[in-house]
Chains A and B, each alone.
Chain A
Amino acid sequence: MKKYLYKGREMVKMLRVEAGEQVYLRTESVYDAPRQTGEVVVKAVVMENGFLDLSGIIKIKKKANLAEAFLRQKVLLVGKNSRAEARPELEIETDEVKASHAASVGRVSEEEIFYLMTRGFNRNEALDLIIKSFLGEEDEE
C-alpha cells in the first residue's frame, strides 16, 4: 500500500488511485497559536479495484483562539469495485474557533456522461474529461 502523510494548514492534494492500487493518505493540520487560518482540500478519484483510505485531522490546541480551519475531502469512485474510506476528524480544545469539515463520496453521474456523449465524445473520453475537470478544479466554491 502506498502511504502519504502531509502536515500543514494550507494544502490542496489531488490524487488518482490507479486500477488495483491501494493508497493511504492522511493530512494533519495543527493549530497552536492565535489567529491561524487554514484550508485543506483533498480530491481523489479511484479507478477499478482501487482502494483509498483517506484520513484527515484538524487539531486546535488550547492557545489557538480565533482559529479558522476547514477540511474538505471529495472522492469519486469511478471504476468497478472501487472502494474508499473517509475519516475527517476534529479535536477542538478551545472555544473561539470556527472549524468545519466536509467529506463526500460518490460516483460520476450518468447525466454528465450522457451530456458529453451527445456532444460527440465516446464513453471513455467523456469519463476522462469529467475526471480531469474534477481533479483540475482548485476549489469549486
Chain B
Amino acid sequence: MSKFVAKKTAEAREVRKAIGEYKYGFSMPENNIFKAKKGLDLERVEEISKMKGEPLWMKNFRQNSYKIFESKEMPKWGADLSQINFEEIFYYVKPSEGQVDSWDKVPKEIKDTYDKLGIPEAEKEHLGGIKAQYESEVVYGSLLDKLKKQGILFLGMDEALKEYPELVKEYFGKLIPPTDNKFAALNSAVWSGGSFIYVPKGVKVDLPLQAYFRINSLRMGQFERTLIIVDEGAFVHYIEGCTSPIYSSDSLHAAVVEIFVKKGARCRYTTIQNWSNNVYNLVTKRAKVEEEGIMEWVDGNLGSKVTMKYPAVVLVGRKAHGEILSIAVASKGQHLDAGGKCTHLAPETTSRIISKSISLKGGRSSYRGLINIASGAKNSRSKVVCDALILDKQSRSDTYPVNKINEREVILEHEATVSKIGEEQLFYLMSRGFSEEEAEAMIVNGFIEEIVKELPMEYSVELNRLIALQMEGSVG
C-alpha cells in the first residue's frame, strides 16, 4: 500500500514538474507571405476571395454574409462580448505558399511550432491523417495511402473548393446559414482554412483524422470552416486541437463546423480546446443526422478567455441518435459558456447530453443547453445530466437548460447538481497518505472520468495533465 502511495505521489510531482505553466504560450517570429490590413470592410472580404481565386458563387456568398454580419446585433445573452474590437483584428494572414505533404517543406518557424506541440510525432503513431492550420491557412496535410485508396477525401476546405466544387456547393452553408448568428455570418464572410472530409458509403475509418489549429500572431482572427460528410453506413472519428501564444491583447476564433451524417452512419467529433487566455472562442457547430445515424460530440474546453459554444445535433431521421459529452474547466479570468443542443424532428430519436464543469480560482463556467422535441417525434427520449464542481469561493457555476416538448409521447429527463469536493472524500484519501492537493486532483479526475474515458488514450493523459496544472495551488 505504502509503496503504491509513494509511487503515486512521485508521479504527481513529476507531472506537475513537467507541465510548468501553459506550455503552448510561446510565439514564433512572423514570416507571413501576406497579411491583410487590420479591420474589416467589404473590400477586405473581396480581397480574400480574390486571393484564393474562388468561384463567383463563393464570392457572392462572402459578400452577402458580410452584409448579414453588419446588420446583426451582438448576442445579448451568455458571456460578455463587449470588449471585442472588430476593428483591431487581422482577418486574413497567409503564413506560407500553400499546403505541403511533407514536414520538411513546411517553413522552419511553423515546423518548429508543430514539433514543440508534438504533432508530427502523434501523426506517426496514432493518426490516419492530419491537417495543420497556421493562422488562416492549412500549411500541412497528409492522409494514409490505405485511406486514400478507400476513397476517403480529407482536404483543406480551400483545396476542396478547388477540386470538388460541386460537392462543396451542395453542402456548404446548408446547415449553418450565415443568417444563423452574428459569428456564423462573420465566419461565412472571411472564412479560410478548415477541413473537408468525405467518407464514402460503408467505409469505416479506423484511425482518427486530426486537425490542429494554431494562432501565432498578435490580434489574429482565425475563421476556419469545416465540412464533414459521412455517407451511408460509414464511420469517421475527427479530432481537433487548438493552442495559441499568450498576448496581452485579445484574439478571435470564430469557426463554423457542419456535419452531415447519412443513413446508418456514425461520426465522432472530438475537440480539445486549449487556447491561451486571450482568445474569444465563438464557435457554431451543428450536425444533421439521418435515419439510424449517430453523431457524437466530445467537447473539451480548457482554454480561452471567453468560450460560447453549443455543439448541436438535428435528428431528422427515424431512430437517429445524438450524443454530446462536454467538459469545461474555467480558471482565473475565464468564462466558459458551453453546452449542447438536440433537436428531435423524427420518431424514436434519442439524445443524451452529459456535461461536467469545474470552476476554480475565480473562473466561471456555465452550462447552456436546449432540448427541442417537435410535434410528431413520437417515442423520442432525451436525457441531460450536468454536474458542476466549484473549488473555491471566488468561482461561479451556472446551469441554463431549456427543454421544449411539443410531443406527448416522449420521455425527457434533466438533472443537474452543483457541489464542492466533499470533506469526507478528501479526508478518506488523506488518511491513505495523499496530500490534500493530490486528493483533490484525484477526485476531480474521477469526476470527469466518464468523459475522459471516451477520449483517445494520448488525449486523456493530456487532459488529466492539463487539469492537474490548472488546479495547481488551488487548495487554499
Contact = CB atoms under 8 A, between A and B. Distances in A.
Interface of A: 62, 65, 75, 77-107
B27 interface: no
B435 interface: no
A92 B415 contact: no
A95 B392 contact: yes
A90 B398 contact: yes
Nearest to A100: B417
Given A92-B397, A93-B396, A97-B390, 16 more contacts: A81-B375, A82-B408, A83-B404, A86-B403, A86-B405, A87-B400, A87-B401, A89-B398, A91-B398, A95-B395, A98-B417, A99-B417, A102-B416, A104-B414, A105-B411, A106-B412
A25 to B, nearest CB: 14
B143 to A, nearest CB: 45
Given A62-B393, A94-B393, A88 B416 contact: yes
Nearest to B385: A102
3 closest Cβ contacts across the A-B interface? A100-B417, A90-B399, A77-B408
Given A93-B396, A106-B411, A107-B410, A88 B401 contact: yes
A44 to B, nearest CB: 12
A72 to B, nearest CB: 10
Interface of B: 375, 388, 390-393, 395-406, 408-420
A84 B401 contact: no
Contacts of A107: 408-410
Given A80-B408, A82-B408, A85-B402, A90 B416 contact: yes
A64 to B, nearest CB: 11
Contacts of B396: 91-93
Nearest to B416: A101
30 contacts: A65-B393, A75-B405, A77-B410, A79-B408, A82-B408, A83-B405, A83-B406, A84-B405, A85-B402, A88-B416, A89-B398, A90-B399, A91-B398, A92-B418, A93-B396, A94-B393, A95-B390, A96-B393, A97-B419, A99-B417, A100-B416, A100-B418, A101-B399, A101-B414, A102-B416, A103-B414, A105-B405, A105-B410, A106-B410, A107-B409
A98 B420 CA distance: 8
A10 B9 CA distance: 46
A77 B403 CA distance: 14
B408 A99 contact: no
A58 to B, nearest CB: 9
Tell me which of A86, A90, A95 has the highest count of chain B C-beta atoms within 10 A of its own C-beta: A95
Contacts of B397: 90, 92
Contacts of B410: 77, 105-107
B354 to A, nearest CB: 15
A97 B414 contact: no
A3 to B, nearest CB: 18
Nearest to A94: B393
Contacts of A82: 408
B397 to A, nearest CB: 5
A92 B330 CA distance: 14
A116 to B, nearest CB: 19
